[in-house]
Chains A and B, each alone.
Chain A
């Protein structure tokens, strides 16, 4: 890899997202259109200005449409344009903008729209059924697994290896659901949620309980990425994508120690090197790691190098990851608070960092003029991670 020789720098100049809700009436195309409109409006651009469109959307099985990337493209603004879909399971939320990044950094395109859509409510009787098909057909499916089993097995191993208390893990759910009160699109915000609520919520697959999980959602989000050649024509405050990284681990998840996700660390290292970050704990002002389950936030913080293994729980207990803490984590409210329309969580990861670093995060604004943030997503069979480092330069 050749760091420091990137052909063109790339900046985010606009972002948008729809409401996140268990069920939205809007179709996938309509949600895509809403999010795209908002992002373009914020960037003060129209679709005619856009050279290419990148789509991110997770399993086709949710919408029940094969090649759904092509089906969604008119709502996403892709008609008669170069249109590309990328797909890395849950990692898509941060990976789609990485694909957008290389469209621009390569010099081929100047302004691109990255659109992520998810419509889980179409899948009946429950979005869970689509997840039946992520498992190996010979080794796993005959055991009739439920998606939650993966997380509970990983959580168990993590807690055991690092001696992490469930009470501390549950604090993440409390923090994020309360943070989400400041988010206008939030599905699961709860200003009054307590630790006890989480600890006594119904057991799903122990150690996981109901309030440890972010439930399925519908939603869409979009960001506009532009080349360094035009960024300052469009805004005084572009937020630069200074580092990108991604990594996938072996399909054989039962051959890995699940306590520490190495592939997240690899992806982070790639992004930090590119961004010139040598000491992430000192240099990162805000972190938006992927938090589909509360323990994931902790495990991801550690793999991102922002805490020693097993220490993220203590940081949480000590309040350091609150919005006004030393290292605000998921000031958006995260997946736990805003909702989890898989790929569309782009809006609360990369979108959130854009709004935070450009001072537009309203009630969620992290104080102290944050300049550098890291967003991370995670997907496939506990295998894939994407990481972006964003920076305001002024």
Chain B
């Protein structure tokens, strides 16, 4: 036993936790954040079925998610650009847990895609659909599946998910090291 550390603390099981004296309270914390100039416009774009980015002329990047300032050049961005909406999977996960850590039977496919027309790695997180665990891979070309116009409200969920693009070859993301 290590004489330098004398562990103090009384461990409780989940059951004991309910039995020891305790106080239960629920924080009431509600917020209404202004979306701001950039995101308001982006959300308007989503409602219209468009994916919009902001261009920075200094570093020549199209920034999506769009913002009014470029964090690299530290200057105001210059103008709006509409992107085709297609992209390539950067990374993904096949999740068997939901937002509350409950187990779910049918997994959620989620990940990050990089948009065509934007610089490397510029994209958003979203769901992937109409794809199997065997098919989904990094480098897979995808396209957005939109909700019908009447159901779009100006939210990221106006896109239902991204699905594989038929007939477009995969983009090979360069592997830094080939292992023997």
Contacts and interface: CB of A to CB of B under 8 A. Distances in A.
Nearest to B110: A149
B175 A163 contact: yes
B167 interface: no
B110 A121 contact: no
Contacts of A368: none
Contacts of B73: none
A204 interface: yes
B111 interface: yes
Interface in A58-103: 61, 64, 66
B97 interface: yes
Interface stretch (B11-19, B78-86, B141-149): B11-19
B59 interface: no
A31 B9 contact: yes
**Best-surrounded residue of B24, B43, B91 (most CB of chain A within 10 A):** B91
Contact of A219 (B9, B95, B127): B9
A144 B157 CA distance: 10
Interface string A361-379: 1111000000000000000
B105 interface: no
A299 to B, nearest CB: 13
**Best-surrounded residue of B13, B17, B24 (most CB of chain A within 10 A):** B17
Nearest to A34: B8
B77 to A, nearest CB: 13
A25 B176 contact: no
A184 B7 contact: yes
B30 interface: no
Contacts of A61: 27
B91 A156 contact: yes
B135 to A, nearest CB: 14
A126 interface: yes
Interface residues of B, number: 63
Interface in A20-36: 21-26, 31, 34
Interface string B12-54: 1110110010001101000001010001000100000000000
A98 B145 CA distance: 48
B177 A142 contact: no
B65 A142 contact: no
Contacts of B9: 18-19, 21, 24-26, 31, 34, 185, 218-219
Contacts of A152: 93, 95
B56 interface: no
A129 interface: yes
A248 to B, nearest CB: 11
Interface of B: 1-14, 16-17, 20, 24-25, 27, 33, 35, 39, 43, 63, 65, 67, 71, 90-101, 107, 110-112, 120-127, 133, 138, 155-157, 173, 175-179
Given A146-B97, A156-B92, A254-B112, 8 more contacts: A24-B9, A26-B9, A132-B99, A152-B93, A153-B125, A184-B2, A185-B5, A254-B65
